[in-house]
Chains A and B, each alone.
Chain A
Amino acid sequence: MTDTTATPRRLPNRLDNPFKSTVLSWEGLLVLVAVAIFILNSFASPYFLNEWSLSDMTFNFTEKALIALAMALLIISGEIDLSVAAIIALASTLMGWALQFGADTPVLVAIGVGTGIACGAFNGFLVTGLKLPSIVVTIGTMSLFRGISFIILGDQSFKGYPPSFSWFGQGYVWWVISFELVLFLVCAAVYFVLLQRTNFGRRVYAIGNNDVAAEFSGVRVARTKFVLFCLTGLMSGMAAVLLTARLGSTRPSIAEGWELEAITMVVLGGVSILGGAGTIVGVVLAALIMGLVTFGLGLLNVPGIVMSIFIGALLILVIALPILWRMWRQRTAVRSA
């Protein structure tokens, strides 16, 4: 008896040759940029190719990149969270506050991560429950969360975290591989699977492309968005644990300005700021590029002001290149027709 149930033919996402589409994709471009910057750095500074230098470099981006992973999903779904850095401040402050009552490491971590989730849920409730625009809500909670930190701490600081807690931000798992880097790579893998290999991920893209259509197709838009805000809060809480452990102290001004750096990584990673498109691979590569650029320029003692100009130019260049390429191709196509 012959088996008549033919396996369904897998339809590729694109009809191009897979190798060609990989090289010409955004991620392919980012890989080239990363390799180019790596080579340039190696030539520019004799101190770059050293295992400890490269290890130190990762501390420049791991915490922000953790947030960028969740932020990418949120932006793909058409929302944004500007309060992530303020969540770090509040989570760090509450950890420091608990420390005053003798909380030990597991409790501190639970408080940090728990505060993150609670703040994310609060944002999510305001956006999905009260139907407020996320940019307005999170500008508000940005001031709210950091404001609470300032009320609790004023111009004081919390310090004296136990060594077992400091390990999260200063410890190494093996050789020069830090705990922060391992955690980031694990989270990146989890988010890759979540966004690109699960139904949940497909729903996030659907909502970002057209949330009304998604709603009518049976996707629970509000609940999905609520989960995304909680995830962003969770990652901010984790970043708060790492950063607090790395600094060994808490001040209300902790992580100031990090929301824009996380969003820069997301946009540089090829996520459409209008929602509906983007990949985790791109975001991870963008985080690596930001780390390579800032550390490489730092090794040359380039002033920070010049560094900001560099990052800005890189962002515009990477975004403009594919558009220019498309315009050029269209023009040549018209000419040859």
Chain B
Amino acid sequence: MKLFKVLAATTAVAVLLAAPAYAQTRIALVVKSLGNGFFDAANKGAQEAAAELGDVEVIYTGPTAATAEAQIEVVNSLIAQQVDAIAISANDPDALVPALQRAMQRGIKVVSFDSGVAEEGRQIHLNPSDTALIGETIIKLAADYLPEGGDVAILSAASTATNQNAWIDAAKAALPEKFPNINLVATVYGDDDSVKSTDEAKGLIAAYPDLKAIIAPTTVGVVAAAQVVTDQNLIGKINVTGLALPSEFKQFIDNGASQAVALWNPIDLGYSAVMLADQLIDGKEAAPGETFSIGRVGEVTLDDTNAAAMAVPFQFDKTNIEEFAAIY
């Protein structure tokens, strides 16, 4: 009986405490899993956005295991907390949909970023970049250091890799108009396997003596190619570039095997996701063709599926590789 009274009393007190205590706008940044440098960096950007907006609090959260079920538990707890918006990088594009639809029914704005959610489960999806921008960037990375033009070759992942093939097609489309003096002599496939990528890079160097640059739009291939160039003392003759993780690739920027590489910038991604969520909270409607400002990163326009591409891949060179290698 006494226990019951204590329970009743504490319940009453808790109900009194339950009166909303926060007037601030709260935006939750839900990531695939915690303890991942990429998402810690996204959080850094999200906090920057919050500071810039002033009255916004960013809740950085996510499960320990990168599973959809665990992420749904996180979303459920955010619905209970009545946050104003959820910006999520989803572990599964479909499984999160029912939970996020419930969030939207209760008035919570939902933005997906990085790994998207199916269209019916979010209002906006923010891609770090898009196919055309990536294709153009990988050629530009080589062309910037070849003022007189020359031969370049592409070392890709598997010949069936959907992403890489789309980027290479976009790169080829950009070549004649934007980079007329760059001559793409070959495209080879290293299957995202270090050994095979190394062999393919050696093959390229042997087959094309005038080769000026190797472009590898894969984080495995780019490291293999840079290692081959380093081992064969070709630093200064062949420039390796492409898409690379700064932490894995720092040594090759430092030794000169590569002038610059690119990849998505997680800081800008987290920053932009919060900026988008904040505008939805302020009442802006997400619709195809609508333009949203994303602060210092610029602006994005929504496509037919309410998805947007943030920016061209972010370039890493001698000036900033140190800083980003510490992040991811």
**Those of B1-34 within 8 Å (CB) of chain A:** 3, 6-7, 10-11, 13-15, 17-21, 33-34
| CB proximity of B301 to chain A, nearest CB, Å | 29
**Those of A115-161 within 8 Å (CB) of chain B:** 157, 159
User: Does A247 have its Cβ within 8 Å of any Cβ on chain B?
Assistant: yes
User: Does A49 have its Cβ within 8 Å of any Cβ on chain B?
Assistant: yes
B80 adjacent to A304 (CB under 8 Å): no
User: Does B35 have its Cβ within 8 Å of any Cβ on chain A?
Assistant: yes
Contact of B67 among A170, A253, A305, A307 (CB under 8 A): A253
Contact of B94 among A45, A60, A249, A298 (CB under 8 A): A249
B74 adjacent to A298 (CB under 8 Å): yes
User: Does B305 have its Cβ within 8 Å of any Cβ on chain A?
Assistant: no
Contact of B59 among A52, A243, A258, A301 (CB under 8 A): A301
B97 adjacent to A248 (CB under 8 Å): yes
Give chain A residues whose Cβ lies under 8 Å from the Cβ of B97. 248-249
Cα of A114 to Cα of B76 in the assembled complex, Å: 31
Give chain A residues whose Cβ lies under 8 Å from the Cβ of B68. 247, 251, 253-254
Give chain B residues whose Cβ lies under 8 Å from the Cβ of A43. 10, 13-14, 17
B21 adjacent to A46 (CB under 8 Å): yes
Give chain B residues whose Cβ lies under 8 Å from the Cβ of A56. 76-77, 79-80
With A39-B7, A248-B98, A305-B34: A48-B14 Cβ-Cβ less than 8 Å: yes
B69 adjacent to A255 (CB under 8 Å): yes
Provide the B67-102 mask, 1 if CB < 8 A to any CB of A, else 0: 111101110110111100000000011110110000
B98 adjacent to A304 (CB under 8 Å): no
User: Does B65 have its Cβ within 8 Å of any Cβ on chain A?
Assistant: yes
With A43-B14, A60-B73, A243-B69: A304-B34 Cβ-Cβ less than 8 Å: yes
B19 adjacent to A298 (CB under 8 Å): no
A49 adjacent to B14 (CB under 8 Å): yes
User: Does B116 have its Cβ within 8 Å of any Cβ on chain A?
Assistant: no
Interface size on A, residues (CB 8 A): 44
| CB proximity of A287 to chain B, nearest CB, Å | 14
Give chain B residues whose Cβ lies under 8 Å from the Cβ of A48. 14, 80
Provide the A26-56 mask, 1 if CB < 8 A to any CB of B, else 0: 0000000001001100110111111011001
With A50-B80, A298-B76, A299-B77: A249-B17 Cβ-Cβ less than 8 Å: no
A299 adjacent to B80 (CB under 8 Å): yes
B67 adjacent to A159 (CB under 8 Å): no
A42 adjacent to B95 (CB under 8 Å): no
Cα of A187 to Cα of B18 in the assembled complex, Å: 34
Give chain A residues whose Cβ lies under 8 Å from the Cβ of B64. 303-305, 307-308
User: Does A294 have its Cβ within 8 Å of any Cβ on chain B?
Assistant: yes
A49 adjacent to B11 (CB under 8 Å): yes
With A35-B3, A298-B77: A47-B67 Cβ-Cβ less than 8 Å: no
With A42-B14, A170-B98, A305-B34: A249-B70 Cβ-Cβ less than 8 Å: no
B73 adjacent to A294 (CB under 8 Å): yes
User: Does B62 have its Cβ within 8 Å of any Cβ on chain A?
Assistant: yes
| CB proximity of B25 to chain A, nearest CB, Å | 16
With A42-B10, A247-B68, A294-B73: A166-B98 Cβ-Cβ less than 8 Å: yes
Cα of A169 to Cα of B59 in the assembled complex, Å: 28
User: Does B256 have its Cβ within 8 Å of any Cβ on chain A?
Assistant: no
A304 adjacent to B70 (CB under 8 Å): yes
Cα of A298 to Cα of B77 in the assembled complex, Å: 6
Contact of B95 among A49, A59, A249 (CB under 8 A): A249
User: Does A162 have its Cβ within 8 Å of any Cβ on chain B?
Assistant: no
**Those of B43-73 within 8 Å (CB) of chain A:** 59, 61-65, 67-70, 72-73
B76 adjacent to A59 (CB under 8 Å): yes
With A42-B11, A60-B76: A47-B98 Cβ-Cβ less than 8 Å: no
User: Does A104 have its Cβ within 8 Å of any Cβ on chain B?
Assistant: no
Cα of A254 to Cα of B72 in the assembled complex, Å: 12
Cα of A60 to Cα of B73 in the assembled complex, Å: 6
A295 adjacent to B35 (CB under 8 Å): no
With both beta carbons as reference points, the residue of chain A lying nearest to B62 in the complex is identified as: A304
| CB proximity of B39 to chain A, nearest CB, Å | 12
A301 adjacent to B92 (CB under 8 Å): no
Give chain A residues whose Cβ lies under 8 Å from the Cβ of B15. 49
| CB proximity of B313 to chain A, nearest CB, Å | 24
| CB proximity of B29 to chain A, nearest CB, Å | 11
A46 adjacent to B19 (CB under 8 Å): yes
Cα of A285 to Cα of B194 in the assembled complex, Å: 52
A248 adjacent to B14 (CB under 8 Å): no
A249 adjacent to B92 (CB under 8 Å): yes
User: Does A256 have its Cβ within 8 Å of any Cβ on chain B?
Assistant: yes
A35 adjacent to B7 (CB under 8 Å): yes
Contact of B63 among A39, A248, A304 (CB under 8 A): A304
| CB proximity of B89 to chain A, nearest CB, Å | 15
Cα of A43 to Cα of B17 in the assembled complex, Å: 8
Cα of A159 to Cα of B20 in the assembled complex, Å: 39
Cα of A47 to Cα of B79 in the assembled complex, Å: 10
| CB proximity of B274 to chain A, nearest CB, Å | 16
* A-B contact list, 19 entries, CB within 8 Å: A38-B7, A47-B81, A47-B82, A48-B80, A57-B76, A60-B73, A157-B94, A159-B94, A247-B98, A248-B95, A249-B94, A253-B68, A255-B69, A256-B65, A295-B77, A298-B74, A298-B77, A304-B64, A307-B64
Which 3 residue pairs spanning A and B have beta carbons closest together?
Answer: A298-B77, A304-B64, A42-B14
Residues of B that sit less than 8 Å from A by CB: 3, 6-7, 10-11, 13-15, 17-21, 33-35, 59, 61-65, 67-70, 72-74, 76-77, 79-82, 92-95, 97-98
